């Protein structure tokens, strides 16, 4: 549950104070006693509450021009439209794209920083920017990052002055806790760089509104954030048993039950953030697909020593499923051609899939081997880099033994043996070549060689056989 709590908020937010402000009437009827229709209606209502809370949060974020600047900075690399620094009386019909937000923001900034601008034009530009921000499809990360950058700017700019605090005295404790939220070092560094880059061109009074307007929108934003997180948490907690039910179907795998539950909750969180109750589907059906996908992908990542992409895992499962079906249907082992015909893959692709689908083991052994006598596969592999010491010793002993055997012969016999077998010279000579050199016939050279080999066999034959 610690993992779930961490994912629900992504930062340390105090909910006890929130519960005093947000209407948190609890339903005394437990999930065990609710009929299925009530559970469906409950999920629908919770999803609707979350969607409404998210819409209110986006509306509150849209009041701050800093939200638009953060989105432009975040998605700038994906834009095809260059930032327009001049005012533009027409707004592009690009819907909720960042390009439309970018155009509206720079138009609003131009009119704010200009002189002699009428109040009507000012309001029109502001409303245009707010409308474009409300059309943007905010994801969970977008909302969290936008909230963090706004509260970080207010905290670092000391914009929450005493006058503002007196105006929001009823919410002072909640605001103080929100401003003290601890961010990760990486996120803090990112926000510092962003603030350093923006303060050179825009004032905090423009990005976070003036003190007269900021405190009202700030409290609205703070309450909307807590309502959204509370609604999100309610929907997740209401479907915890769905995660447990699906995880029980995957028992017996190599992952622990708690690990499977954690992966299932990550899938549930994705379903919560992506579900659209307007489409008319049941949340439990929609969330079930995300939960199963998260669990199956976790199993695919963890079951092999060498990770295989999920797409290839699907191909492996498809090939083996078709192979088993053909084997049970025909009563014989399915051939590569049969599998390729039913899977719409080539024979080369089938061979590749069968090759990398084989189980791989670690050369260093398993971490579960606690015994000191356990050996890893690498202990049984022969190294090919260096020659073994016993081979060098055997080679030296063989050279010494051959030298002793040659010394046993007379000079002519020794010369015939050396020349014919290439000892010390590296090149072998035929009997005819040896005879020409010694002025002997080929037959006489053969006789001398036989006599010499018999002498060696009688004195060193048994020792030389040991080297074979």
Lowest mean pLDDT among 166-180, 194-208, 385-399: 166-180
Q: Is residue 162's pLDDT more than 70?
A: no
| Each residue's pLDDT tens digit, 189-223 | 888 888 888 887 888 777 877 766 777 788 889 89
Task: Give the whole-angstrom CA distance, residue 396 versus residue 133.
Answer: 85
444, 412 Cβ separation under 8 angstroms:
no
pLDDT of 225 over the 60 cut: yes
Mean pLDDT over 391-397 rounds to: 84
Q: Give residue 315's pLDDT.
A: 86
Give whole-number Cα distances, 380 to 46, 114, 242, 396, in Å. Answer: 60, 79, 48, 27
Same domain, residue pair 444 and 337: no
- 74 shares its domain with 188: yes
Q: Is residue 100 part of a domain?
A: yes
Of 207, 232, 257, which marks where a domain is finished?
A: 232
Instruction: Compute φ and ψ for 24, nearest 5 degrees.
Output: -125, 60
203 and 134 fall within a common domain? yes
pLDDT for 9: 46
pLDDT at 92: 35
The structure tokens listed for 24 are 């948190």
Would you say residue 120 lies in a domain? Answer: yes
Same domain membership, residue 206 and residue 83: yes
- From 282-286, 371-375, 424-428, the region with the lowest mean pLDDT: 371-375
Domain finish residue from 281, 302, 323: 302
77 and 225 fall within a common domain = yes
Q: What is the pLDDT of residues 53-87, one digit of tens each?
A: 999 999 999 999 899 999 988 887 544 333 333 33
Q: Is residue 372 part of a domain?
A: no
Q: Are residues 255 and 317 in the same domain?
A: no
Q: Residue 422 — left, alpha, or beta (φ > 0 → left; ψ -120 to 50 → alpha)?
A: left
Our count of domains for the chain comes to 4
Question: 3 Cβ partners below 8 Å, 6+ apart?
Answer: 262, 265
Q: Give the three-state DSSP class for 304.
A: coil
124 and 53 in a common domain = yes
**Which one has a higher pLDDT value, 212 or 385?**
385
Q: What is the DSSP letter of 279?
A: G
Provide the b/e sequence for 276-292 (b: ≥16 CB within 10 Å). ebeeeeebbebbbebbb
pLDDT for res 160: 65
CA 394, chain centre distance (Å): 54
CATH number for the domain spanning 408: value is: 1.10.10.10
The answer to whether residue 460 is domain-embedded is yes
Look-up of token digits 């692709």? 349
Pair 332, 226 in one domain:
no
Domain annotation covers residue 77: yes
In a domain, residue 71? The reply is yes
Has residue 33 been placed in a domain?
no
Structural domain for 278, as ranges? 240-302
pLDDT of residue 247: 92
225 and 125, same structural domain? yes
Q: What is the pLDDT of residue 446?
A: 93
Q: What pLDDT score was predicted for residue 307?
A: 76
Domain end residue (candidates: 185, 213, 232): 232
* Domain-located, residue 4: no
Tokens of 179: 């401003």
């Amino acid at each position: 549950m610690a993992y779930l709590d961490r994912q629900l908020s992504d930062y340390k937010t105090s909910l006890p104070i929130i519960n005093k402000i947000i209407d948190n009437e609890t339903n005394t009827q437990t999930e065990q006693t609710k009929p299925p229709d009530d559970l469906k209606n409950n999920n629908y209502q919770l999803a609707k509450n979350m969607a409404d809370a998210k819409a209110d949060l986006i509306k509150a974020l849209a009041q701050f021009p800093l939200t638009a600047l953060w989105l432009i900075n975040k998605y700038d690399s994906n834009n095809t439209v260059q930032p327009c620094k001049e005012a533009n009386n027409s707004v592009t019909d690009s819907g909720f794209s960042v390009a439309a937000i970018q155009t509206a923001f720079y138009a609003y900034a131009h009119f704010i920083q200009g002189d002699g601008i009428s109040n009507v034009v000012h309001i029109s530009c502001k409303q245009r920017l707010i409308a474009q921000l409300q059309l943007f499809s905010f994801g969970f990360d977008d909302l969290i990052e936008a909230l963090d950058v706004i509260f970080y700017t207010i905290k670092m700019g000391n914009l929450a002055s005493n006058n503002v605090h007196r105006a929001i005295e009823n919410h002072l404790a909640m605001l103080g806790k929100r401003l003290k939220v601890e961010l990760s070092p990486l996120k803090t560094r990112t926000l510092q760089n962003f603030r350093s880059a923006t303060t050179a061109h825009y004032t905090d009074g423009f990005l976070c509104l003036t003190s007269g307007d900021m405190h009202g929108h700030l409290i609205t934003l703070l309450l909307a954030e807590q309502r959204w997180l509370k609604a999100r948490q309610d929907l997740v907690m209401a479907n915890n048993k769905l995660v447990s039910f699906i995880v029980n179907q995957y028992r017996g795998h190599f992952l622990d039950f708690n690990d499977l539950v954690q992966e299932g909750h990550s899938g549930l969180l994705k379903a919560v953030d992506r579900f659209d109750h307007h489409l008319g589907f049941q949340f439990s059906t929609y969330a079930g697909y995300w939960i199963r996908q998260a669990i199956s992908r976790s199993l695919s990542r963890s079951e092999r020593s060498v990770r295989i992409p999920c797409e290839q895992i699907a191909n492996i499962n498809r090939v083996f499923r078709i192979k088993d079906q053909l084997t049970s249907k025909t009563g014989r082992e399915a051939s590569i051609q049969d599998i390729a015909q039913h899977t719409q893959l080539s024979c080369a692709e089938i061979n590749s899939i069968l090759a990398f689908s084989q189980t791989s083991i670690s050369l260093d052994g398993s971490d579960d081997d606690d015994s000191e006598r356990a050996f890893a596969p690498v202990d049984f592999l022969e190294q090919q880099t260096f020659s073994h010491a016993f081979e060098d010793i055997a080679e030296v002993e063989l050279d010494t033994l051959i030298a002793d055997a040659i010394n046993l012969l007379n000079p002519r016999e020794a010369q015939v043996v050396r020349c014919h077998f290439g000892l010390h010279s590296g090149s072998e000579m035929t009997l005819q070549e040896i005879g020409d050199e010694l002025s002997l016939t080929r037959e006489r050279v053969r006789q001398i060689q036989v006599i010499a080999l018999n002498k060696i066999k009688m004195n060193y034959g048994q020792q030389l056989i040991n080297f074979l």
